């Protein structure tokens, strides 16, 4: 072998030796330790009677696979059965527990038992941003939340309480801004929630009206929530709570509630009452966006009066001042409402009501004023109404 070739071979062997010495051999994750960390969290977080069991725990080069998993929260009446749960790339933490890229679980059957049992099958599920706590962390904070986001797709089942099927297209939950494992930001999105028309059969008149308005077998509903809580200031900021029904409309609520120790709501009736008593309203907004229900309602009313939808809208606009004054009895509010409501009736796109009081108002003061009639609320809350903005 020529000298240059021998030198190159020697250099290559030397580099390979030091590289293998410097880099630890990649080992498969510890399946048992991973499963035990999850089980420890379930039993503490779920409370007495909670458990996490599985038939087998195995590991690939990067993942842990648990089969025939059963999760019980509190009692056998609330449980989930998961054929296969996969923890992707679990890495042990120095303080115990582990982190992971994600956890996936498909074809999960969840049971909320009791007198009004509900059984739901989740076709696909996954969680991201995984941090399971160690024993000391869990003891210090039993409400530790170990995931940053959760996605569920194609939920279906039956509800004994309503006697109706459950069908939800997708659900997304996202948490952030965690302090000691407890998040202060929450986002929720539910899409494709099917509500059958039979849900309104308790009111025959309502069912009849919905049929006359041309609504079919079901409503497709979406719900979103986006809020944050500042613990040091006891302030809850609702960026958006939205309820949307296809071909009906969307209701979007936002606001800021201060002096509200929200954690007290979970600490017994007395502390919960104190929290509600102390709460103050800083601002609020309610926006309704028409996605078809107003048009259908106007068409229904126009048919009953043997006129056109446009003529009915014009007649209603002309009658608004009298109608509002009779309902409210507040001259200033009647004047403030007439113009935006007339604009909405003529072109029903959206209607927004905002409250921006000069100083925060105790929630109890609002409730007390409402009991005496709505006349005092507009001035108290500094209400403003706008149409189609």
Residue 12 confidence (pLDDT) above 50: no
Mean pLDDT along residues 15-26 = 42
DSSP string covering 146-180, please?
--SEEEEEEEEEEETTTTEEEEEEEEEEEEEEEET
The per-residue pLDDT for range 96-111, each reduced to its tens digit, is: 999 999 999 999 999 9
Instruction: State yes or no: pLDDT of 149 exceeds 70.
Output: yes
Q: Could you tell me which of 180, 177, 154 has the C-alpha nearest to residue 167?
A: 154
- Residues with Cβ < 8 Å from 104, sequence gap 6 or more? 85, 86, 88, 124, 125, 126, 127
**Residue corresponding to tokens 């038939």:** 55
Structure tokens at 66: 């648990």
**Structure confidence at residue 18 (pLDDT):** 40
User: In this predicted model, what pLDDT tens digit does every residue of 190-228 receive, in sequence order?
Assistant: 999 999 988 888 888 998 999 999 998 899 999 999 999
**Comparison of pLDDT for 9 and 165, the residue scoring more:** 165
d(CA 271, CA 282): 22
User: Do the beta carbons of residue 64 and residue 86 sit within 8 Å?
Assistant: yes
Coil/strand/helix, residue 279 = coil
CA–CA separation, 40 vs 186, rounded Å? 25
- pLDDT band of residue 377 (cuts 50, 70, 90) is confident
Which residues, other chains included, contact 321 with Cβ-Cβ below 8 Å and sequence gap of 6+?
334, 338
- Residue showing tokens 């991973």: 34
Has residue 6 got a pLDDT over 60? no
Residue of 137, 152, 147, 156 whose CA lies nearest to 174: 147
- Per the CB < 8 A criterion, the answer to whether 237 and 256 are in contact is yes
Res 261: pLDDT: 87
Name the pTM for this structure: 0.84
Q: Give the pLDDT score at 28.
A: 87
In the numeric block, which tokens belong to residue 343? Answer: 């604009």
Q: Reply yes or no on whether the pLDDT at 17 is more than 70.
A: no
For the chain, which residues make up each domain, given as ranges? Answer: 31-232, 296-387
The pLDDT of residue 22 is 41
Q: pLDDT tens digits, residue range 34-76?
A: 999 999 999 999 988 999 999 999 999 999 999 999 999 986 6
């Amino acid at each position: 072998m020529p000298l240059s070739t021998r030198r190159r071979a020697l250099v290559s062997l030397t580099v390979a030796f030091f590289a293998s010495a410097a880099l630890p051999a990649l080992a498969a994750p510890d399946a048992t330790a991973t499963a035990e960390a999850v089980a420890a969290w379930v039993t503490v977080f779920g409370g007495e009677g909670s458990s996490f069991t599985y038939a087998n725990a195995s590991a690939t080069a990067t993942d842990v696979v648990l089969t025939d998993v059963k999760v019980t929260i509190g009692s056998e009446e609330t449980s989930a059965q998961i054929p296969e749960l996969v923890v992707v790339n679990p890495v042990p933490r120095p303080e115990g527990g582990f982190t992971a890229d994600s956890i996936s679980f498909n074809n999960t059957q969840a049971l909320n038992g009791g007198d009004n049992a509900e059984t739901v099958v989740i076709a696909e599920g996954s969680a991201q941003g995984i941090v399971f706590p160690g024993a000391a962390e869990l003891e210090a904070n039993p409400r530790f939340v170990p995931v940053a986001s959760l996605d569920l797709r194609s939920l279906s089942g039956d509800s004994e309480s309503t006697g109706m099927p459950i069908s939800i297209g997708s659900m997304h939950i996202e948490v952030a801004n965690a302090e000691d494992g407890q998040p202060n930001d929450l986002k929720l999105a539910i899409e494709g929630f099917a509500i059958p028309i039979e849900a309104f059969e308790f009111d025959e008149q309502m069912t009849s009206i919905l049929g006359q308005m041309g609504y079919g077998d079901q409503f497709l509903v979406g719900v979103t929530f986006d809020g944050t809580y500042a613990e040091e200031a006891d302030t809850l900021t609702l960026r958006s709570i939205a309820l949307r029904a296809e071909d009906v409309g969307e209701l979007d609520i936002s606001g800021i509630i201060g002096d509200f120790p929200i954690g007290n709501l979970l600490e017994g009736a007395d502390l919960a009452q104190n929290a509600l008593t102390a709460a103050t309203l800083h601002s609020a907004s309610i926006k309704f966006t028409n996605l078809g229900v107003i048009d259908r309602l106007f068409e229904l009313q126009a048919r009953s009066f043997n006129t056109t939808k446009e003529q009915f809208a014009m007649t209603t606009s002309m009658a608004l001042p009298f109608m509002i004054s009779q309902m409210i009895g507040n001259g200033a509010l009647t004047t403030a409402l007439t113009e935006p409501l007339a604009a909405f009736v003529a072109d029903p796109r959206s209607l927004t009501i905002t409250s921006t009081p000069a100083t925060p108002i105790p929630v109890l003061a609002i409730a007390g004023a409402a009991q005496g009639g709505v006349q005092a609320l507009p001035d108290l809350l500094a209400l403003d109404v706008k149409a189609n903005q």
